[in-house]
Amino acid sequence: MSKVYLVGAGPGDPELLTVKAWRLLQRADVVLYDRLVSPGVLEVVNPRAHRIYLGKHEGQQQQIQEQIYAAFLRFSGGGGTRRTIVRLKGGDPMVFGRGGEEWMFLSAHGIEAEVVPGVSSSVAVPALAGIPLTFRGVSQSFTVVTGHCQKGAPEWTRYAAADTLVVLMGVKHRAEIAQALIDAGRCLDMPAAFIERGSTPEERVVVTTLGDIARGEVEVESPAVFVIGEVVNLRAMFARKQRERDCLVPVEITVAASAGMEAA
């Protein structure tokens, strides 16, 4: 019996693959991957594996999805060959991108399947850019939503109350999304950021406001993670790359004696 692993490739840096994903990629017979998987991650793949690119492009999602299902059937069946098939998806395999549907397809066809969670870009990319999604006194929650295929602007009013909002696949419709959030009560000067190619050496961070985005003044290249909320301001406070020695906010912490530390 062959087995399909639905594996998260993480945000791009191959060191952010899980140990399990790394091992599976090194012994895979077949790797099916899409547009969000980085070249660095693909270098980890067993050189003898059959690699199949199945990136989705605008307007042909359904056609490509059928090719993915066809590949599952083709490689898992036949000839008594036991294959390790890795379906590799950017970030975490169950955060958007139809991972759950692919799992359902495999279940329905009696193909053995296992989910291998990955580091989600929604959480990791902002953090690596100096924006933690939660911070005591600033953000007690975060919402992750896709900017793609939403049923129109009214939907966004539901997300306007989130402490921190992360929009994946939101570059194309960024101006409408920003305007919808403003219409739902968010301030024009609410800080927002786009992080392109997060976790890689080509990372680019754009810090801006909802107002500027709504006015169409912010240039961003897809794919990028779009973050909205007060936590974006924290970025200026972290001494990234050790360049800044002074913290921009007063940090008053009483340091207790280390005597009470429990060693294990």
CB of 263 to its own copies, least distance (A): 6
Query: Contact with its own copies (CB under 8 A): which of 143, 182, 193, 226?
Result: 143
Q: Does residue 204 interact with its own copies by CB under 8 A?
A: no
CB of 171 to its own copies, least distance (A): 17
Indicate whether 53 belongs to the interface with its own copies (CB under 8 A).
yes
Instruction: Work out the end-to-end distance of the chain between its first and last CA atoms, rounded to an integer number of angstroms.
Output: 44
Active site residues: 34, 56, 169
Q: How far apart are CA 22 and CA 58, in angstroms?
A: 30
Closest to 125 measured CA to CA, from 239, 238, 224, 43: 224
Query: Is position 34 an interface residue for its own copies (rule: CB under 8 A)?
Result: no
Interface of this chain with its own copies, residues 76 to 105, rule: CB under 8 A: 92-96, 98-101, 103-105
| Sole binder of its own copies in the list 159, 169, 207, 213 (CB under 8 A) | 159
Residues 222-251 that bind its own copies (CB under 8 A): 234, 237-239, 242, 244-245, 247, 249, 251
Q: How far apart are CA 28 and CA 183, in angstroms?
A: 49
Nearest CA to 168 among 89, 91, 88?
91
Dist CA 255 CA 262 (whole Å): 16
Size of the site for its own copies (CB under 8 A): 94
253 binds its own copies (CB under 8 A): yes
For residue 25, CA distances in Å to 19, 41, 88, 106, 200 come to: 10, 9, 9, 20, 20
Answer yes or no whether residue 59 interacts with its own copies by CB under 8 A. no
